Amino acid sequence: MRNKVYNSNTKPGDTMIKEKIQNALNLQLNQELYAFYLYLSMSSYFDSLNLSGFSNWMRFQAEEEKNHGLKFYDYILQSRGKVDLKQIEAPKKTWKSAREVFEDTYNHEKKVTESIYDIVDLAIAERDHATHNFLQWFVSEQVEEEATALKILEKIKFIGDNQGALFILDREVGTRSNA
């Protein structure tokens, strides 16, 4: 009886997550690492314009994405799944303006939200309550990520071609220090 409860038949290499879920988590891990690349690329773009505040903001954003990727990495391992580190797509390298960068940022975050929702739907369909629970942190995080990107985008739209105001905003966003 006891053996049945504790499943003593578990062998090294057995997983606690279904393959479908594992594949979706590995794809999301790759997406988060791509976001790390994308925001790092944006950081270097801003640095080339001497907008060091925006550059700093993007650097922190990139760090956050790396940490998001590691959360997926850790969860897959914790669930005795297999981590599959896929090739990371090269990000865009240049933009026309700060406005275009934040339009891309906001759109990227909306895409990430959709893909998190897709995995949540899959977890529900597969009755994987543990993965569903794990993903709830990301559901909340995406609300914050979208809101923050949109707020900066709206400020950039508001100041338009006013370079002086852009430098003031650069100083304001450059105070970000959480990673």
Residues that bind ligand FEO (CB under 6 A): 32, 35, 65, 68, 109, 112, 145
Q: Burial letters for 24-34: b for 16+ Cβ neighbours within 10 Å, e otherwise?
A: bbbbbbbbbbb
Please report how close the Cβ of residue 87 comes to ligand FEO at its closest, in angstroms.
19
- Select from 29, 35, 28, 33 the least CA-distant residue to 108: 35
Task: Name residue 128's amino acid.
Answer: D
Please report how close the Cβ of residue 50 comes to ligand FEO at its closest, in angstroms.
26
Q: Measured between alpha carbons, how far is residue 179 from residues 56, 67, 76, 140, 146 in Å?
A: 11, 9, 23, 17, 16
C-beta of 109 vs 128, nearer to ligand FEO: 109
C-beta of 46 vs 138, nearer to ligand FEO: 138
C-beta of 35 vs 122, nearer to ligand FEO: 35
Please report how close the Cβ of residue 173 comes to ligand FEO at its closest, in angstroms.
16
C-beta of 46 vs 72, nearer to ligand FEO: 72
Number of H helices, E strands in the chain: 6, 0
Task: Name residue 179's amino acid.
Answer: A
C-beta of 84 vs 114, nearer to ligand FEO: 114
Residue where the block lists tokens 């393959």: 19
C-beta of 10 vs 140, nearer to ligand FEO: 140
Query: Is 128 in contact with 17 (CB distance < 8 Å)?
Result: yes
* Residue showing the smallest CB distance to ligand FEO in the complex: 68
Please report how close the Cβ of residue 64 comes to ligand FEO at its closest, in angstroms.
7
- Cα-Cα end-to-end distance for the chain: 48
Please report how close the Cβ of residue 121 comes to ligand FEO at its closest, in angstroms.
18
